Amino acid sequence: MKASDARAMTVDQLDDEVLKLKKEQFNLRFQRATGQLENTSRVRVVRRDIARILTIARQKRAGDEPKLATTKPKQVKTEGSKPARVKAKATAKRRAPVKSRSKPNPKNRAKAKKSKK
């Protein structure tokens, strides 16, 4: 179900739709547990539909109608204009290398002592 379809419904209709979807979700869980579920993607779709409808119902109850998403106008590139590049800060500190916290291998120590003699 699309959000625009849900926004056209009343709060009571949304509650009925949620109840219907929760029953379907229950049946899908049983089908999955018994190995009879063929369309596994339906579980995800139903879960998201429930969340979408509950969100819209909550917004309608609170009187918060969401604003339509607006896109920013695209900037028109003109000839000869180059995008401004951000320079890295020269004052940025470099991190010290991390020292190994593992214990040295005793076999390697023994080899080092032999080679020194």
Radius of gyration, alpha carbons of the chain? 31
pLDDT score of 98: 74
- pTM for this predicted structure: 0.55
35-81: pLDDT as tens digits: 999 999 999 999 999 999 999 999 999 988 766 556 666 666 666 66
Tokens linked to 34: 């018994």
Query: Which pLDDT score, from 0 to 100, does residue 102 have?
Result: 72
DSSP state letters, the chain: --HHHHHTS-HHHHHHHHHHHHHHHHHHHHHHHHT----THHHHHHHHHHHHHHHHHHHHHHT-PPPPP-PPPPPPP-TT--PPPPPPPTTPPPPPPPPP-SPPPHHHHHHHHHHH-
Q: Hey, what are 91's tokens?
A: 């004052």
The pLDDT tens digits of the residues spanning 104-117 come to: 677 776 666 666 65
**Selection from 44-48, 80-84, 92-96, 101-105 with the highest mean pLDDT:** 44-48
Q: Domain 3-62 adopts which CATH fold?
A: Helix Hairpins (1.10.287)
Position 65 scores a pLDDT of 73
Q: Which two tokens stand for residue 110?
A: 């023994």
